[in-house]
Amino acid sequence: MQFKRIKRPISGVLLLDKPFGISSNAALQHAKRLYQAAKAGHTGNLDPIATGLLPICFGEATKFSQFLLDANKTYQAVFRLGQTTSTGDIEGEVTGRFPVNLSFEAVKQAMQRFIGPISQVPPMYSALKFQGKALYTYARAGVEIERAAREVTIHSFTLDAFGGDELTVTVECSKGTYIRVLAEDLGRALGCGAFMQALRRTRTGGFEIGQALTLEQLEALTPEDCDQRLLPPDCLVSGFPKISLDRESAYYFRQGQSIWLPKQQNAGVMVLYDEKHELIGIGEVAPDGKIAPRRLVVQNTA
């Protein structure tokens, strides 16, 4: 499909199934070119060797992308037992080989130790920044940077299949979780070492991989059909209370002014619409009881 070269102020959310072998940014730029979007961003990095759900926000939807960045994620992964690598995944050099003699039950019991809040030390081969540069740039230069452990939460960790030296697992976890590190830590707990052989993200927040399109599928669609596959920007904040404002209140809220609504029972973040049910943005109840604007969309582009 081809678009005119002019950048379009298009807004919405594309659920992309990122392919193996390219970075999340490369996938983002590809989708941005296909849509000729003026503004775009993704909502959670996937390494080049990982595939799966990569929500991409265009235009006004980028203002709400943080809610997906903060959301829980679900992954299906393959761990290889009996070996360790320099990167914790299949891209690294093998640094150790160990015998594997484990039962299905022994592996399941070891996995149970990782459910709940756990501490992880971010890997050197990661995009985390130190003094303005990604950690992987130091790692490639042979420089080790001290990293502080941080707490993440493993909500569920299930063993889907186990054969020989290979595990297939499903992990539901909080943001910031490194599945590579989980593989290495499980390998240590089992006494045989492990690394991550494959990774696929299947869920982000309320979105499922079955809703996603591949780049090849997008390229086969007409521009009109591509636009139809975009979800509205407010899909990113669908879990918050919704409030419809009258014309006067909507006007002042769009100007960035706090408003007061009688009999307002909600607290925290809420999504606000005008009398035509067009998205205005999100607000939050301030200490004085008024709803203060937090993110506003540009009118007639949402």
* Active centre residues (catalytic): 47
Q: What is the 3-state secondary structure (H, E, C) of the chain?
A: CCCCCCCECCCEEEEEEECCCCCHHHHHHHHHHHHCECCEEECCCCCCCEEEEEEEEEHHHHHHHHHHHCCCEEEEEEEEECEEECCCECCCCEEEECCCCCCHHHHHHHHHCCCEEEEECCCCCCCCEECCEEHHHHHHCCCCCCCCCEEEEEEEEEEEEEECCEEEEEEEECCCCCHHHHHHHHHHHHCCCEEEEEEEEEEECCEEHHHCECHHHHHCCCHHHHHHCCECHHHHHCCCCEEECCHHHHHHHHCCCCECCCCCCCCCEEEEECCCCCEEEEEEECCCCCEEEEEECCCCCC
Rounded CA-CA distance 118/114 in Å is 7
Tokens of 35: 């849509």
Rounded CA-CA distance 200/52 in Å is 5
| CB 242 within 8 Å of CB 232 | no
